[in-house]
Amino acid sequence: MEPSPLTLDVLILGGGAAGLWMLDELHQAGYRTLLLETESLGLGQTIASQGIIHGGLKYALRGRPSRASRTIRDMPLRWRRALGGEQHPNLAGTQLRSDYCCLWALPGLRSRLGLLGARLGLRVKPVPMPADARPIPLRSWSGPVQRLDEQVIEPQSMLTILGNQHRDRCLKIDFQSGFEFDLDSEGHLQRVRLLNPETSEPLDLIPRHVVLAAGGGNGPLRDMLKLSTPSMQTRPLHMVVARGDLPRLNGHCIHEGKPWLTITSTVDCADRTVWQIGGALAEDCVGMTRSETIQRARRDVLRALPALNLDGIQFGTYVANRAEASSQGRRPDGPTLFQEGNIMTAWPTKLALVPMLSDSVLDLLPPAARNDAPQIDLHEWPRPSVALPPWEREQTWNDAHSVAPDLR
């Protein structure tokens, strides 16, 4: 006998930072909620991110306030409270790569003006760092170095904590062969039928509301659900990773009024220091070969950190696609949420803006009602694991001097 359908207040599709944060807040608010994930938790934008809880640095460097800077400026405090266990979601125990970022600038008027803009335009103000308090690679830097109290989290750690807290509410499914749905004549999603990936047993869900929070997966989901607008855009980054005997460093090197290099540090499974290197470099290298990108990264890093020794350091690259609501190729000013019938489509735009996106979902929902519906035993259903970070999946590592010109 098939189990009775499970009635839900909200069904979330997508298990990255946005989906898991929503799941926690909706559950805490009394909504009966499930999250479905077809891959691993965070696989895509969350696990590929550098983990910086931005407060609007990129916008402040322009020297004038903008809508985007006003949107994001309060997010570091919101995250800090969650990371401290002071509010939901309770992210206490999340590993921090650093409690702050460093700011330093290459010589030039625009770079110096950018640092001034950061001091004027950010809610969290950067403060000067004396030489003996700086990370090792910056102690001999001749120019000013500032400390910006924006935390840098370990995304995999955050995903693990939220995934463990909500294990009973996260199901692993097969979107290709184990996911069917019924729409009514007005486009409302009435029923979702799932097949257990391990046993093929069916489960029917009757959701009152559905949230698409799958990042780049929102596009295919919207096509499947016959939702034509709004469209989705992707803006790729060609990120560089380096591993070896590297010092710990988290921060931004400013050049020409923008974060030219953004470096964050972590440790891999073999206890090697790993740098993720992004910023303008990752945007400029889109379309370049792997070899060209590594050579460019090596030159830029040595220009930003001339005292650094890269002998024996291995390099790799990966492409991260930022999925957003279509905005003619430009970055949207903030998180985006569209509602069509009982289906919402959500894009946070940036990791730091995930709490604001979750607030927007809650604002659109009616108050949670008392739920007396019986629970369905889902203990036999497989749960998604947490994604491995890119440097643990990278199979080809090269010394910068030995990269073949045609290696991609």
User: What is the C-alpha separation between 155 and 170, in angstroms, rounded?
Assistant: 18
Whole-Å CA distances, 4 to 202, 214, 301, 375 = 10, 27, 59, 10
What number of H helices and E strands is found in the chain? 12, 19
User: What is the C-alpha separation between 144 and 148, in angstroms, rounded?
Assistant: 13
Residue 365 sits at φ, ψ, to 5 deg, of -90, 145
| SS3 (DSSP) at 343 | strand
Distance of alpha carbon 353 from its chain centroid, rounded?
Answer: 9
Closest listed residue to residue 207, CA positions, set 17, 405, 13: 13
| SS3 (DSSP) at 288 | coil
CATH class (in words) of the domain with range 97-152+234-324+391-402? alpha beta
| SS3 (DSSP) at 143 | coil
Which residue carries 């989906």 as its tokens? 19
CA angle 88, 7, 28 (to 5 degrees): 10
User: What is the C-alpha separation between 289 and 2, in angstroms, rounded?
Assistant: 53
Closest listed residue to residue 88, CA positions, set 169, 150, 26, 45: 26
User: What is the C-alpha separation between 261 and 257, in angstroms, rounded?
Assistant: 12
Q: Specify the amino acid at residue 70.
A: R
Whole-Å CA distances, 229 to 219, 328, 340 = 10, 14, 9
How many CB atoms sit inside 10 A of residue 185's CB? 5
pLDDT at 47: 98
Which residue carries 């643990």 as its tokens? 392
| SS3 (DSSP) at 261 | strand
Closest listed residue to residue 192, CA positions, set 208, 214, 169: 208
Sketch the domain layout of the chain as residue ranges. Answer: 97-152+234-324+391-402
pLDDT at 367: 92
pLDDT at 211: 98
Are 260 and 106 a contacting pair, CB within 8 Å? yes
How many CB atoms sit inside 10 A of residue 5's CB? 15
pLDDT at 56: 65
Q: Which residues contact 299 (CB under 8 A, 6 or more apart)?
A: none
Distance of alpha carbon 363 from its chain centroid, rounded?
Answer: 23
Sign of dihedral through CA atoms 103, 104, 105, 110?
Answer: positive
Tens of pLDDT along the chain (408 residues) come to 566 889 999 999 999 999 999 999 999 999 999 999 999 999 999 999 999 998 766 655 555 555 556 667 788 999 999 999 999 999 999 999 999 999 999 986 555 555 555 555 556 678 999 999 999 999 999 999 999 999 999 999 999 999 999 999 999 999 888 999 999 988 899 999 999 999 999 999 999 999 999 999 999 999 999 887 778 999 999 999 999 999 999 999 999 888 999 999 999 999 999 999 999 999 999 999 999 999 999 999 999 999 999 999 999 999 999 999 887 767 788 899 999 999 999 999 999 999 999 999 999 999 987 666 666 678 889 999 999 999 999 888 987 566 555 443
Return the DSSP state at 95.
P
Q: Which residues contact 87 (CB under 8 A, 6 or more apart)?
A: 81
Are 385 and 41 a contacting pair, CB within 8 Å? yes
User: What is the C-alpha separation between 296 and 213, in angstroms, rounded?
Assistant: 34
User: What is the C-alpha separation between 297 and 299, in angstroms, rounded?
Assistant: 5
